[in-house]
Each structure stands twice: as structure tokens, then as C-alpha cells.
A and B are shown apart, each in its own frame.
Chain A
């Protein structure tokens, strides 16, 4: 009994397995998340016209095509060296807020609520969204409705829910009509009511998860997120900030074009997923996290009324830098509230109906970087082009990549606490999987890899011999 393989980890986006290496005492010595596919977007886009990149890179993911579309379009804006019209900037942010709402709702209600509502050790056959519908129909309906709202806003703005082509280099390709604005506004109160209700529910039950909060790891790490000049949370634009686990700001005001000075990328032999690290501290000391929890740790405030109240309460309960990755769920709910409030503010700005929504230009800069907060964290698209506009080099750093080291550390801690090699139970392994789930990783994005939604856990002997394996399909 020296190696356990969880293959495949369920209720995550993408395909991965977890390998638990056991020591001679039957306890877990190390745990590794292995992401098992590669897709090669950075390579096969070479030679393509740069302005096709948003459409191509959006295909990396069906959950967050909007985030890739926006990051890619921002990189293209930089290549064209244009400042996009203000209404277009607002419309892009509006679209992005809708993307946050739908993606966070998917993560919380569809993927993680079965663990939270039905219990980590409950029957795996029922521990899914169908089981939630059976036992907590109202909660399930709320989740479906909230996600639907986000998706419908995306569709109303961009004509398609998945892979829209509305966002283009230089802005967006059609302005917002008054009817559409009013339609979205009319759906907002209901969405906000669901978000508030879910927030209250979660705050009520979070104390039942003391053990998870304590053992989901990954221990102290730096946190990275985009903030504006005044330190408020930003999703569409802003400057990258790294905050250390003790609350000190390590670096602030990092522009997109300077990301490479602060982020290094290490490769490991057991995963196609690279391990980005904070370059100033080096690898592996420069471990950091991104995503909802890291964003709320990096920022000084949200910048909208209700979200700020929740933000303050969150930090009162869990400190200036909330450490446990279990709290990703909490942070995700605060961000849903923030997203809905931002949408309302943007829609109530008359300037958003302005019809000047596209700037046009050719190649004015041979390099462009687009940086954005995707639902799972900082997303960076970096392109180089020749003078004709053909891509000569591309580098993408996606949210789950930033979290790679933290996830590995987190599952090691959780596995050490929960998994006893001498009497293996499915529920123990589900807790390890739940650590991965807390980050809501998108593995197909992170490796730009082709994947199925499934996961695997392996148990290895000290000699590396496979001893046991759990697979879920």
C-alpha cells in the first residue's frame, strides 16, 4: 500500500489525476496533481493573423471563452496600439461580469455544492448536482437560475452564450441597444436576491467546515490579483499586485507588459501544466495563488457597496490574508455579488449606449500583452507579431497554472491529514479531490489541453510501484 491514484478527479473542468506517494509507515508522504493532456495553442497559432487570435484562443475553453476572448483582444489592442472607445471598454467589462456570475455559479452550485450540502463522505453516486436537486431543490434551482442569468446576459450582449465573436480587436463589433440594456436590468434584482440568499446560507454553514478550513492548505502563500491605482478589486483591467501571506504588499502596479519580469514558469516532469512562480523569490519559494480568494486578499476593497460589506466581514473573520483554500468558495460568492453590482452600475451609465464602440488600426507594435482577471484568476495572453501582423510567438499563462504549486501543496496537506493508507475509504479521497475543486481549476485551459471531465487518484510505494488506484468517470 504505497501509491494511491485518484483517476479521474470529478467535478472539475478538464482531465487530471492525483498521485499519493506513501511512506513506509502507511502515511502519505507526498501528493501530486498530474494534468495529462497538451493542446499546443501557442505553437499552432504561429503564422496566423493576430486579429484572428481572440476567436482561436477562445476555443481553449467552453466555460470561460469570454475571458480568453477579452484577454486576447486586449493583447491585440496593444499590438494595434489603440485605446479602445470608452463605451467598448464598459461593454467588455459588463460582458466579463456576466461571465463571472455564470462561471462562479457553475463552480459553486454545480461542482462544489454536492460536497458542501450532502457531505464529503456521502454516497458518491448521489454526490452530484442531481443529488442536490433531490435533497435541496430550492438551492439547486437558485444555482441554475443564477448561472442562466449570467449566460443570458452574455447571449444578449454577444449574440451567443459560448464562443461569441462580439469582442474584437479594437473594441466590440456592435453597440448595446436600449431594449437589451433594459432587459438585463430587469433580471438583475432576482439575480442579486439569489446571490444574497446564498451568501447568507454559506455564512451560516461555513463554521461547520472548521476541519476543512484548517486542512485544505496550502499554508501561507503570496496572493496575486488585479487592482486599480487605489487598490480596489478589478476584473477587466488594472495592475497586478502581489501580497505576501503576512499582508505586506510585495509588488504593486505591475502593468500587463511587465508581467514577465515578475512571473517565471517552471516545468515539471509529471505534468503538462507549468508552474508559474513569483520571479523575485524564485522557484519554488515564489509560490503564490490567484483566483477569487487571492483577489480578495490582494485587494484593499471591492469598490461596490454590498460586496464591500461582505469583504470587510470576510476579512474580520479570517484575517487580512485569509489563508485556507476552502475559503475560495466564500470569496467566489462575494465576487458574484460584486459582479452583479458592477453590472448594475455599468448599465445605469448612459454612456454605455454610445455607438462608437470600435477603434481600427493596423500593426503599430510588434508585441502585445493582454492581462485580465478570469474567474479562476489572472489570465495573460502575450503575442509577438511580424510587421505584416502574423503571429511569430505566443505565450499564455492561465489561472490554474498560477495555482499549480499551491494545489500540489494543498492536496499534500489534505492527503496527509485525511488519507490513511491502511484503511482507504472513498470519502478520504473525495476530500483530496475537494481541495482541487476549491480552486475550480480549469485544466483544459491551463494546459490549453484537450480533456474530459474526470479525475484519477494513484497510490504509489516509496519505490514508485503502483499499489492502488481509484478512477471516476
Chain B
């Protein structure tokens, strides 16, 4: 069955789309920039980070572009002063929530969160930092999980389930107590489902998941490889 062709307006520009595509996919195909952190091409979309919010005519609230399907005749605004303000607030809250100390992070200089702050012009955080006391899981022989640097984007959860098929990662608890856990809340090193493939590490946008032994600024990620592998296997939820 052929998919229905749709016609939508992105920032006033008329573009063609296919039914089932998200606003993000259509906008990116049309060369529009929408910031994202939790989205990774090839993995399912969950709308966790809220950076991709857009304005849709007729809708009273802002909608995440990665999980909102396009509809025929839809009119979308991808950038406006209001969106820029909300995106900055969202990003600042991400920084304020946990202990993101870029200068001593293994991913300093190669971090998507840090790069996003630069892109959106976030140079200081207006909110009081939460400074939670969070553990570092060093139990895995090759990798390390530092909850301090996690933004709960769940890319690791999705890549492990959808690409590797191991289903090691999950999110536990609610709200600000949320954190990712391996297997049934065991230490990572004791998670028997883990194949040590390292896809979660490569998919992670920050220094939360990293390879052991990499000192400050040394960890670089290849999330493009994850998209490539996912695309090759045709994995799209």
C-alpha cells in the first residue's frame, strides 16, 4: 500500500511529506534546523529532552517535533523568540539538574549537551543547581556509567533494545528521582544480559557512558555509526 502524500508548511514554506513522518523528519529534509538531544536517527523517538518543540498553528501548546506526526495542511514554525526562550530554559534545567562539570569531564569538547549549549547561546545557568549526590558505576570491566552526567535521553535504553536486542537498560523511578538502571537494577558489571558491545556508550550524547581509562577530554563518541547500523538493519519502531 502506498503511503499518502501530504502537503505541509514549515516556516511558511510549502513542503511535501509522507504520512507517518514526524515534523522533525520533514523539517530536516527541508533543510530546517531543529535542535535535538534525545533523538538519534535510526532509533525510535520518545520526545524526552523537549528541545525539538515547535509551534503548530491551531495547537495551543508547543509540540515535540520528533514524536508529532505531520498532518495534511499543517503549518509549523521551527524557530521563534518564544521557542528560543523555551529551549534555553529546557537546556538550563538539564544543566541544573545533575552535576555537569564540563572542565573535568571525559567528554569535554566532544559532548552533544555542551555543543548544544554553545549553539543555543547558553553561557550561564539562571537556576540554582540541584547538586544531587549520585554514584558512579565502575563495575563493568570496559565501561563506566556516571549518573552525574546523564540527561535521561534514553538513547542507551533504545539502542540496546532496538539495535543490539539485549534490553539491558531501563529507566527506574519517577520525575527527578529517575535514573537509568542495568538489568533489574543491578550493577552494570553483574548485568548478565549485557553483551559488552558498547553501543550504549557510542549512542550516549554526554560523558555519562564512557569507556574506561579515557582521561579528561579524551572520550569521543560515534553516534553516526549507531545510526548507520540501525539504518542497515531497518530498525525503526
Contact = CB atoms under 8 A, between A and B. Distances in A.
Interface of A: 47-49, 51-52, 54-56, 59, 163, 165, 168-169, 173, 360, 362, 388-390
A163 B103 contact: yes
Interface in B213-227: 213-218
Nearest to B217: A165
B104 A51 contact: no
**Nearest 8 pairs of A and B residues by beta carbon:** A55-B216, A388-B138, A168-B215, A165-B217, A56-B104, A55-B104, A165-B216, A390-B138
B189 A55 contact: no
Highest count of chain A CB atoms <10 Å: which of B136, B141, B215: B215
A285 B54 CA distance: 72
A274 to B, nearest CB: 24
Contacts, number: 49
Contacts of B189: 388
Given A48-B136, A390-B136, 12 more contacts: A47-B136, A49-B212, A51-B215, A52-B215, A52-B216, A55-B104, A55-B215, A168-B218, A173-B215, A362-B212, A362-B213, A388-B138
A112 B218 CA distance: 39
B215 to A, nearest CB: 4
Nearest to B142: A362
Contacts of A54: 215-216
Contact of B135 (A47, A168, A360): A47
Interface residues of B, number: 18
B106 A52 contact: yes
Interface in B24-61: none
Nearest to B213: A51
22 contacts: A48-B136, A49-B136, A49-B212, A51-B213, A51-B215, A52-B106, A52-B215, A54-B215, A54-B216, A55-B104, A55-B215, A55-B216, A56-B104, A56-B216, A59-B103, A165-B108, A165-B218, A173-B215, A362-B141, A362-B213, A389-B138, A389-B212
Nearest to B144: A49
A412 to B, nearest CB: 39
A54 B217 CA distance: 11
A49 B209 CA distance: 13
Interface of B: 103-104, 106, 108, 135-136, 138-139, 141, 144, 189, 212-218
Contacts of B215: 51-52, 54-55, 165, 168-169, 173
A173 B138 CA distance: 23
Highest count of chain B CB atoms <10 Å: which of A52, A54, A169: A52
B103 A173 contact: no
A388 B136 CA distance: 11
A360 B213 CA distance: 8
Contacts of B106: 52
A294 B197 CA distance: 54
Contacts of A390: 136, 138
Contacts of B141: 362
A354 to B, nearest CB: 21
Contacts of A56: 104, 216
Contacts of B216: 52, 54-56, 165
A288 B88 CA distance: 55
Contacts of B103: 55, 59, 163
Nearest to B137: A388
A59 B103 CA distance: 9
Contacts of A51: 212-215
Contact of B217 (A47, A55, A389): A55
A56 to B, nearest CB: 5
A360 B218 CA distance: 14
B171 to A, nearest CB: 22
Contacts of B217: 55, 165
B237 to A, nearest CB: 34
B188 to A, nearest CB: 10
B204 to A, nearest CB: 16
A49 B215 CA distance: 9
A226 B120 CA distance: 50
A40 to B, nearest CB: 14
Nearest to B133: A47
Contacts of A52: 104, 106, 215-216
Nearest to B216: A55
A462 B175 CA distance: 59
A47 B135 CA distance: 7
A368 to B, nearest CB: 15
A419 B211 CA distance: 59
Nearest to A385: B138
B9 to A, nearest CB: 47
A388 B215 CA distance: 16
Nearest to A57: B104
Nearest to B146: A49
B230 to A, nearest CB: 29
A145 to B, nearest CB: 29
Highest count of chain B CB atoms <10 Å: which of A48, A55, A59, A169: A55
A294 to B, nearest CB: 32
